Amino acid sequence: MVKIFIVMYILCSVYSTNPDITGPTFLQDISEVEANVSLSDAKPEESQPKPDISDAKDHFEELKSLGLYKDDSKDVELNKRNAVIRFQSMCNMTITGEWDEKSQAALTKIVTDKKEISFNDSIAAPPSEEKWFVLNKTKKILTLYYKDKVVKKYPVAIGKASAMTPGGNFSIVSKIVNPGWGGGGYAKPVKGGSPYNPLGYRWMGLSYKDGSSIGIHGNNSPYSIGKEISSGCIRMINSDMEELFINTPIKSIIWIGTENELKDLGVIQPELLQNAEENF
């Protein structure tokens, strides 16, 4: 009824001024009034969509304050995703790329307590007195340690089911800036430094087989980070890889395994919110 009275009132008002009521402008105005009346009469739950945790207000501002959001790309959505997976790796969460309830709870805990993240990794017997690595294939996190202390954690992509990243104890045997890519036996080679190079701009080869078949490197497929998708290598965000490259000496040790395999080696990497009272 409210809708009918409003429209009749407008018609009477405009008719008194002798307008051309057949003109397209008049008809358009009436349509707009009807549309506005319909919206005002709608039920609140119909006009107001339910909030989505992925659109949580200001959580990207908090990720920026933690140094996780970087303008690496012109693709803003990619930069946001990179911030999310960096946060998930920092919290020892399985990398998903999705801002879920667990991620929001962890961020809320950090912001509320106003404390830096306390890494709770436990290493029974570090294999080095210097820097070394652990790749957790279950969570897709590469951790840089100094003795038994966490230096930094990075989200990575690993090998697909048909070419899984090998497990075991290895070391870094080579470091190359702007590596060339040979084509993998199915594509044309790509020169080093090209933005189309699947290896990105940095390569660190592992002591696996001939020392040149499996390595840690950048990428030309940034949305692949966090997935099981490579031919066995360990992919990283390009800017993360460049940072790691600088901080990694030749002969650095790297342990690779699933969560359970790493536990057997004495490496425990609990999630941030796991036993939360003990973590802070």
The answer to whether residues 258 and 267 touch, using CB atoms and an 8 Å cutoff, is no
pLDDT value at position 115? 67
DSSP secondary structure of 72-137: -SS-HHHHHHHHHHHHHHHTTPPP-SS--HHHHHHHHHHHHHT-------EESS-S-SSEEEEEET
pLDDT block averages, 10 residues each, the chain of length 280 = 47 45 35 33 36 54 91 94 97 95 91 79 97 98 97 97 96 97 91 96 96 95 97 97 96 98 98 57
Whole-model pTM: value is: 0.78
pLDDT value at position 110? 87
The answer to whether residues 98 and 109 touch, using CB atoms and an 8 Å cutoff, is no
Alpha carbon distance 20, 41 (integer Å): 29
What is 122-279's CATH number, 2.40.440.10, 2.60.320.10, 1.10.287.70, 3.30.70.380?
A: 2.40.440.10
Active site (annotated) includes residue 217: yes
Q: Which of 12, 59, 91, 217 is catalytic?
A: 217
pLDDT value at position 210? 86
Q: Which of 12, 59, 91, 233 is catalytic?
A: 233
Q: What is the location of CATH 2.40.440.10 in the chain?
A: 122-279
pLDDT value at position 18? 46
CA dihedral (164, 170, 173, 176) in degrees, to 10, reads 40
pLDDT value at position 43? 33
pLDDT value at position 185? 83
pLDDT value at position 211? 87
Active site (annotated) includes residue 59: no
Alpha carbon distance 277, 260 (integer Å): 24
CA dihedral (26, 27, 32, 34) in degrees, to 10, reads 120
